[in-house]
Amino acid sequence: MDYYTNSLRELQVGASLIFQHGSGIDSKIMEKGIFILLVFLGVLAVSKLLFALSTGLCSPLTGGALFTTTHSSKIQKILDSVLMKPGQIVYDLGCGDGRFLVSAYRRYGVRAIGYEINPLAYLLAKMRVWLTHSKVDIYYKDFWKVNLGDADIVFCYLFPDVMDRLREKLTQELKLGTQIISCNFAVPGWQPDKILKADHSIHIDPIYIYTFGI
């Protein structure tokens, strides 16, 4: 995850500064720096443990799929390309930390609804909604058990193993004209309206846009 990568880089820089210039630093400042460093390591270790535990708890339903965030460049590209209207119902199937729904709500005023069964991701999503004062509904629930018949837009960032099953669910439940946005993986047998790529040097995986029944 980007969070851990950036944190480790900051930790390496901080540690190198302490050890390179430790001789010229006051002992109390040195002790405080080491204490902060140890606390940071502890928090990082606990967060990794929580990530592993939450993934293990929901693995029977997800098939071991990991909680993966959608990069901001992808979200920006989607929101620039898929125009939405206030009040439209947008579902996020496996909403992770809720960043797509919050972004869609804040830009377009849609009715944003997400489902998540990873405990850590669910808590992060609820926290994001609270911190941004967004009117976004996040449910700790398996989206396979939810009827999507009233959806105007369905967003997902799933894994190839479930895309056939997802196609069957969408075919049975969606109304004509519903738009489907699938990050990275295509819906088998469906012809996309367009395939987007984010304006980024690394996060350039395809984003498939479909209109159901048209």
Spatial distance between the Cα atoms of 202 and 114, rounded to a whole number of angstroms: 27
What is the CATH code for 72-211? 3.40.50.150
H-helix segments, the chain:
2-21, 27-62, 72-81, 99-108, 119-132, 163-173
Q: What is the pLDDT of residue 46?
A: 44
3-state helix, strand, coil in the chain (%, to 5): 50, 15, 35
Spatial distance between the Cα atoms of 29 and 67, rounded to a whole number of angstroms: 38
Spatial distance between the Cα atoms of 97 and 4, rounded to a whole number of angstroms: 15
Q: What is the pLDDT of residue 189?
A: 95
**What is the phi/psi pair of residue 161, to 5°?**
-60, -25
Angle in degrees, 0-180, between the axes of helices 119-132 and 27-62, rounded to the nearest 10: 120
**What is the phi/psi pair of residue 196, to 5°?**
-100, 155
**What is the phi/psi pair of residue 45, to 5°?**
-65, -45
CB atoms within 10 A of CB 14: 14
Region of residue 89 (left: phi > 0; alpha: psi -120 to 50; beta: else): beta
Q: DSSP assignment, residue 187?
A: P
pLDDT tens track of the chain, all 214 residues? 454 455 545 555 555 555 555 555 566 666 666 667 666 555 444 444 444 454 555 555 554 456 678 999 999 999 999 999 999 999 999 999 999 999 999 999 999 999 999 988 999 999 999 999 999 999 999 999 999 999 999 999 998 999 999 999 999 999 999 999 999 999 999 999 999 999 998 989 999 999 999 7
* pTM as predicted: 0.73
